[in-house]
Amino acid sequence: MFNAATATWGIAGLATLGVVARPWNLPEFIWAVTGAVLLVAFDLLPWREALTAAGKGVDVYFFLVGMMLLAEVARKEGLFDWLAVQAVRQSRHSASRLFAIVYAVGTVVTIFLSNDATAVVLTPAVYAATRTAKVEPLPYLFVCAFIANAASFVLPISNPANLVVFGERMPTLIEWLRYFGLPSVVAIAATFLLLRFSQRDSLRGSVESEAKSVVLTRTAAIVALGIGATAVALLVASALGRDLGLPTFVCGAIVTAIALVLGRKSPLPVLRDVAWSVLPLVAGLFILVEGLNHTGVLPALADMLKQAAADAPKATAWGSGIISAFASNLINNLPMGLIAATTSHAAQASHEITAAILIGVDLGPNLSVTGSLATILWLIALRREGENVSAVRFLKLGLLVMPPSLVLSLFSLSLVAPR
């Protein structure tokens, strides 16, 4: 049993390291899938359980495909170029104002469409805006990555991980806002101030706001309406306690089909440019977590959490939030969310402890470039535009931004949680 557990944790650790470090510049999904295959090949996880684990991600797969379809058809129909011109004109030659506009839009997109949507949908639009404004793109692109995590616990739909962590113990919307309203405001404000301070040298100049006019075509307007309709569908699905994946996929497929029919275009260019590699990455992570659960370590963690919560509930909330935040950067916040859900549910943890864990899972990934699925999607979007951010550069910025935001958010939670 010890050898099997050690081997499982070793394979999971190496796979995670591969996802984070990307040796030989191989895509992230190769390492996650390789780790999953090795667990089955060495009989550390029965193949039926591996398939079941991968099947748990069906809702996530649907969600991601729907969002990627919306982003791709919006890009091809020129919606992002039009939005870029509007943002640049509103900046009135001010780089600082353009930065604030991007941050505000990113906050709204994350709250109502999820952090993955911010990474997939907003990043190309921001890149187009910086190209139009003729400014260095990275300070503005960093906004897409950091706000995608900082605003991801305002509402349950703001991050699919929220639904995973709470599961059947999901609080009502009123209860959710009671726990996360103030911590969310604090996280968003603190992240903005710290990020703005870090980029102050790049934002002292002016931007080119006399952008060439871009006409919003009928098809692009329909795509914009479709994205808005998707946000409404997600809010309704969340209020009804339904999964978010299928509504997102249906909306994305319908909007894409309408745009292609109106433009009399082939679907192949859109389908070809969708980042399909994200799906095996997610499946591999689900299987790796199931392998860890199979070792019996997670039930032991649940017992430890239950005992700690009984002895010192407030300290346990703080500790759980901080540990989950940093652990999310070691193994990615999607598997961390699954681990947290398994342990917190088994331990029957209080809403305050579970809320602290969720803040760590959502906000913690602002430390490293592969801490969350949203940031990985952001990286993929950057590479498509010819931009690249090293893990070291992101970590330096993350060390400045994430820890203070996390501490302030957990402190805010301690103020509003029932005593």
Instruction: State how many domains the chain has.
Output: 1
pLDDT tens for the chain, residues 1 to 419? 457 777 777 787 777 767 666 677 777 788 888 888 888 888 888 888 888 888 877 887 888 888 788 878 887 887 777 877 777 778 777 888 889 988 998 898 888 777 877 887 788 878 888 887 788 889 999 999 999 999 999 988 788 777 777 766 667 778 888 899 999 999 999 999 999 999 988 888 777 766 566 677 888 888 888 888 888 887 787 777 677 788 889 998 999 999 888 888 888 888 887 778 778 888 888 888 788 777 777 778 888 888 888 888 889 999 999 999 998 887 778 778 878 887 887 888 888 898 999 999 999 999 988 788 788 888 888 887 888 888 889 999 999 999 999 999 999 999 987 76
Question: Which single residue is written with the structure tokens 């929220």?
Answer: 162
Question: How far from the centroid of its chain's Cα atoms is residue 182's Cα?
Answer: 20
pLDDT for the residue numbered 419: 62
Q: What is the pLDDT of residues 275-325, one digit of tens each?
A: 787 788 888 888 887 887 777 777 788 888 888 888 888 899 999 999 999
- Residue 374 corresponds to which amino acid? A
Please tell me the distance from the alpha carbon of residue 168 to that of residue 400, in angstroms, as a whole number. 35
pLDDT for the residue numbered 319: 92
pLDDT for the residue numbered 21: 64
Please tell me the distance from the alpha carbon of residue 313 to that of residue 331, in angstroms, as a whole number. 26
Instruction: Spell out a b/e string for 353-368, using b for 16 or more CB atoms within 10 Å of the CB, else e.
Output: bbbbbbbbbbbbbbbb
Please tell me the distance from the alpha carbon of residue 1 to that of residue 294, in angstroms, as a whole number. 11
Q: How buried is 6 (Cβ within 10 angstroms: 0-12 exposed, 13-18 middle, 19+ buried)?
A: exposed
Distances (CA, A) of 338 to 82, 230, 232, 327: 39, 26, 27, 12
The per-residue DSSP string of 130-162 comes to: HHHHTS-SHHHHHHHHHHHHHTTTSSGGG-HHH
- Residue 257 corresponds to which amino acid? A
Please tell me the distance from the alpha carbon of residue 251 to that of residue 207, in angstroms, as a whole number. 36
Q: What is the pLDDT of residues 199-236, one digit of tens each?
A: 988 888 777 766 566 677 888 888 888 888 888 887 78
Structural domain containing residue 22: 2-416
Angle at 292 between CA 289 and CA 295, to 5 degrees: 155
Please tell me the distance from the alpha carbon of residue 256 to that of residue 254, in angstroms, as a whole number. 5
Please tell me the distance from the alpha carbon of residue 366 to that of residue 382, in angstroms, as a whole number. 17
